[in-house]
Amino acid sequence: MPSFYEMPAVSPTMEVGTIVAWRVAEGQSFESGTVLAEIGTDKANMDAEIFERGVLLKHLASEGDELPPGAPIAIWGKAGDDIGPLLAELASRKAPSPAAPAPAPAPVAAAPAPDPAPVAAAPAPAPAVAPSAALPAGGTIVRTWMGRALPADFQDPPGDIQAAAPRVSASPLARKVAADLGIALSAVRGSGPNGRVVRADVEAVAARPAPAAPAPVGPVDETVRLSPMRKTIARRLTAVHQEVPVFQLTVSWDGAEMVRLRDALKRVMPDAKISYNDMVIAACGRALRAFPKANAGWGEAGIVRYGRVDVGVAVAVDDGLITPVIKGADHLGLAEIGARMRELAGRARDGKLAPDEYTGGTFTISNLGMFDIEHFTAILNPPAAAILAVGRLAQVPVVVDGALTVGWRMNATLTCDHRVIDGATGAQFLQVLRRYIETPALLAV
């Protein structure tokens, strides 16, 4: 018996899935564990498997279609199965239910006809020129027009005199053809005797090509279709911005030791490719372990203090933003963090992350320093109650021991969920984090 294959919920945050590509064609047989289609979610592209064996009888959706989990997207069964009943069932699901007939109006008793009212005599039509009349003391009627008296022998002009439009000379057949085609004779130039419009003149006007629409002036607007990822980003960030009370704390760190450590690591470990971002991840992992009040989130029953330190790191992709999670960041060395970050970021850009690789972060980092951004603020990434926005590490004029010199500085801003982290709590966490940033040798401990 044929069966529907429904859109699987391949991601915990998935509300709709996009059929990126069908991997099994109509009429093709498959074994248990076969990937039927590649499904695009709000975060990544996932494989949709089937754990039966049979034949894919019909695709019910095309590549590029978006459907919610549970919606039928294919029919499978055995070769030769009749899929008519399933198609009829699907059509009945989509057909709107007939509207209930409106109840018949209740009979209304006829009201007795009222007595006819007396009909007043119709007023005489007003003249085309309506002069006013005044009765002077002597009793003689003086007619005026715009404040001036009219002669006693003034006669009103007939009321039906109107300015008539000039009549176009045209043959009866030309008039009929013009009326049928909706062409005004005044717009036709006659070629007959004395400029008379004939049938050929009307048909010549009708045969003229319509004027081309004017070309658009300037650039043309383009509407970019929203991907599932962009829709999810818009919905979640709007909700966070409207519902969560936040505040920001900004600091400036001395990055001289980070520069020295990275230079030394490049000499002794040239293949490690450790970045300043990897150092910030490691520093946040150690600081969250030392100060667990910042490693928290808002829950229905209360504040959740996480027992793990999983740091999410924002990565820009074609459709928006995704946060791969470095799990157990408080126990990883710099080289291991660097290797994991490069591998996760690469698969994130290819849309190949598994759901558990981009969900469940207890803290988030967003770094725009590589774009020469000095300072910015970031929007929270729930369930984490804090996100650190990191600017560039650059040489700037600084005052050291009362003397002006050149130093390395890095600006960062911590955005906090005020329901979970108070101002003093956030400031204390940044003090702990400063110790690891400005003394990165502690990251080896």
- Write down the residue that tokens 């999410």 correspond to: 312
**Is residue 418 among the annotated active site residues?**
yes
Domain end: 90, 114, 135, which one? 90
Helices (H) and strands (E) in the chain, counts: 8, 21
Domain of 313, CATH number, reads 3.30.559.10
Largest distance between two CA atoms of the chain: 126
What domain range is 437 assigned to?
A: 246-444
Distance (Å, whole) CA 264 – CA 270:
10
Asked whether the beta carbons of 148 and 170 are under 8 A apart, the reply is no
Give domain status of residue 241, yes or no. Answer: no
Q: What pLDDT, on a 0 to 100 scale, did the predictor assign at position 155? A: 60
337: tokens are 């963090």
Give domain status of residue 32, yes or no. Answer: yes
Distance (Å, whole) CA 10 – CA 69:
9
Q: What pLDDT, on a 0 to 100 scale, did the predictor assign at position 220? A: 86
- Write down the residue that tokens 């991601």 correspond to: 11
pLDDT grade for 97, boundaries at 50, 70 and 90: low
Distance (Å, whole) CA 239 – CA 82:
47
Asked whether the beta carbons of 378 and 415 are under 8 A apart, the reply is yes
**In this model, does residue 59 exceed pLDDT 80?**
yes
- Write down the residue that tokens 């109650």 correspond to: 385
Give domain status of residue 373, yes or no. Answer: yes
Q: What pLDDT, on a 0 to 100 scale, did the predictor assign at position 95? A: 63
Which residue among the candidates 59, 331, 375, 418 is catalytic per the annotation?
418
Give domain status of residue 112, yes or no. Answer: no
**In this model, does residue 159 exceed pLDDT 50?**
no
- Which phi and psi angles does 89 have, rounded to 5°? -65, -40
The stretch 160-168 carries a mean pLDDT of 55
Question: Burial code of 380-408, b = ≥16 C-beta within 10 A, e = fewer?
Answer: bbbbbbbbbbbbbbeeeeeeeeeeeeeeb
Domain of 36, CATH number, reads 2.40.50.100
**CA atoms lying within 13 Å on the CB side of residue 91:** 6
Q: Looking at 7-98, which runs of residues are DSSP E strands?
A: 17-22, 29-30, 34-40, 45-50, 54-59, 66-67, 72-77
Residue type at 187 in one-letter notation: A
**In this model, does residue 366 exceed pLDDT 90?**
yes
**In this model, does residue 161 exceed pLDDT 80?**
no
Give domain status of residue 421, yes or no. Answer: yes
Q: What pLDDT, on a 0 to 100 scale, did the predictor assign at position 134? A: 47
The stretch 107-132 carries a mean pLDDT of 46
Distances (CA, A) of 265 to 278, 279, 331, 407: 13, 12, 19, 21
pTM over 0.75: no
Give domain status of residue 121, yes or no. Answer: no
Q: Which residue has better confidence, 345 or 109?
A: 345
Q: What is the pLDDT of residues 257-277, one digit of tens each?
A: 999 999 999 998 888 889 999
Q: What pLDDT, on a 0 to 100 scale, did the predictor assign at position 373? A: 96
Domain end: 34, 69, 90, which one? 90
Q: Which residue has better confidence, 228 or 97?
A: 228
The stretch 54-77 carries a mean pLDDT of 88
Distances (CA, A) of 206 to 170, 180, 182, 193, 351: 16, 11, 9, 21, 58
Give domain status of residue 254, yes or no. Answer: yes
Average pLDDT, the chain: 83
Q: Which residue has better confidence, 121 or 319?
A: 319
Residue 332: how many other CB atoms lie within 10 Å: 21
Domain end: 69, 90, 111, which one? 90
Q: What is the pLDDT of residues 416-437, one digit of tens each?
A: 999 999 999 999 999 999 999 9
Closest CA to 386 of 291, 232, 248: 248
Q: What pLDDT, on a 0 to 100 scale, did the predictor assign at position 392? A: 96
How large is the angle between the packed helices 199-207 and 172-181, nearest 10 degrees? 20
Q: What pLDDT, on a 0 to 100 scale, did the predictor assign at position 128? A: 43
The total domain count for the chain is: 2
End-to-end CA distance of the chain: 63
Give domain status of residue 108, yes or no. Answer: no
